[in-house]
Amino acid sequence: MIEIEKIIDQNDKKIVEDHIKNINYKIEKNKNTEGIPFFDLGLISYNHAYEIQTYIFEQVRIENIRGSILLLEHKPVITIGNNGRLDNLLVTQESLLEQGIELIHSNRGGDLTFHGPGQLVCYPVINLAYYGKDLTLFVWNLEQVIIDILEKFGIKSKRIDKLRGIFVNTSKIASVGIHIKKWIALHGFSLNVNVNLNYFKNIIACGLKEYSQTSMQKILNKEIPINDVKEQALQNFSKIFKFGLI
C-alpha cells in the first residue's frame, strides 16, 4: 500500500471558513424555497473541498433541504475511488510529489482519475428524496448536463454503453463518480476544459487503457473561458433537473 501524502496549504483553512459562512447564510436565507443555492469555490485543494461537501451534506440531512451545487477547480490531485487499482498508477509517489500532485483515497465510485487547474469540477450535493430516489436517472442527468455543455460549444459528445462519463470519438473528456449516503449525493463530475493533459500520463485514467483523455481546448484549438463553462453548467442543471438556482 502506498503511503498517502497530504500537501497542506494553511491558507485554504481560512478560505474554507469563509465559504462555510457564505453557505450558512445562503442556506438559511433560502431553505423554505424550492431553489438550490450554488457556490463557486474557485481553486481549492481536494481535502478542503471535501470538507465543504460534507458540511453541506449535514445541512441537507438535518434541515431536509434540496441541496447545493459546488463549482470549482482542484489543485493537482490524483484520487483513488472505491474501485481503484493502484496498478493503474504509473509512477512513484516521489514522482508525484516532485510534480506537486497529491494522492488521495476517495469514497466516490470509480477508479483513478486526475483533477487539476483548467478542469471544471462540479459537486451537486443533492437530496435525491426530492427526485424519486432514482440513482440511475441522477447519473444519466449529470451526464446530460455535460453533453449539453459541450454541444453549446460546438462539440459533439456521447455516452458509451457500460462506461461512465462522456466521450468524444475515442477519447474521454469528462468523468462521473458519486457516493450516495442517506439518499444524498456527494462528489459529481469533472470536465476537461483547459487542463494540462500531460498530468494524465501518470495514470491509466478510470482504468481505461483504450481511451485517451482529451479537453475542450484540445478539440477547439483554443483556450475556453472556464467561467463561461460554469455558467452553461448552471443553466443546464436548472433545465435538466427542473429547479431554480439561487
Report pLDDT digits (tens) over 182-211.
Answer: 999 999 999 999 999 999 999 988 888 899
Residue 85 has a CB neighbour count (10 Å cut-off) of 12
Range of the domain at 140: 12-24+36-239
pLDDT of residue 189: 97
Whether 94 maps to a domain, the answer reads yes
In a domain, 244, yes or no: no
Mean pLDDT (the chain) is: 91
CATH code at position 81: 3.30.930.10
pLDDT higher than threshold 50 for residue 3: no
Q: Considering the domain boundaries, does residue 31 fall inside one?
A: no
Mean pLDDT of 165-173: 97
User: Is 224 inside any structural domain?
Assistant: yes
The answer to whether the pTM exceeds 0.85 is yes
Predicted confidence at residue 12, as pLDDT, reads: 65
Q: Please report, for residues 54, 134, 155, the alpha-carbon distance to residue 65 in angstroms, rounded to integers and kept in the order given.
A: 15, 17, 35
| 79: Cβ contacts below 8 Å, ≥ 6 apart | 46, 104, 105, 106, 108, 112, 113, 115
Mean pLDDT, to the nearest integer, of 48-70?
A: 93
Task: Check residue 11 and give its pLDDT.
Answer: 64
In a domain, 6, yes or no: no
In a domain, 29, yes or no: no
Total of domains in the chain: 1
CA distances from 31 to 25, 46, 68 (A): 10, 27, 11
* Residue 58 maps to a domain: yes
Residue 81 pLDDT level (bands cut at 50, 70, 90) = confident
Residue 62 forms part of a structural domain? yes
Task: Give me the residues paired with residue 210 across strands.
Answer: none
Q: What is the pLDDT of residue 238?
A: 93
Hey, which residues are catalytic here?
206
**Sheet of 77-80, strand order:** 102-105, 77-80, 112-115
C-alpha cell at 22: 457564505
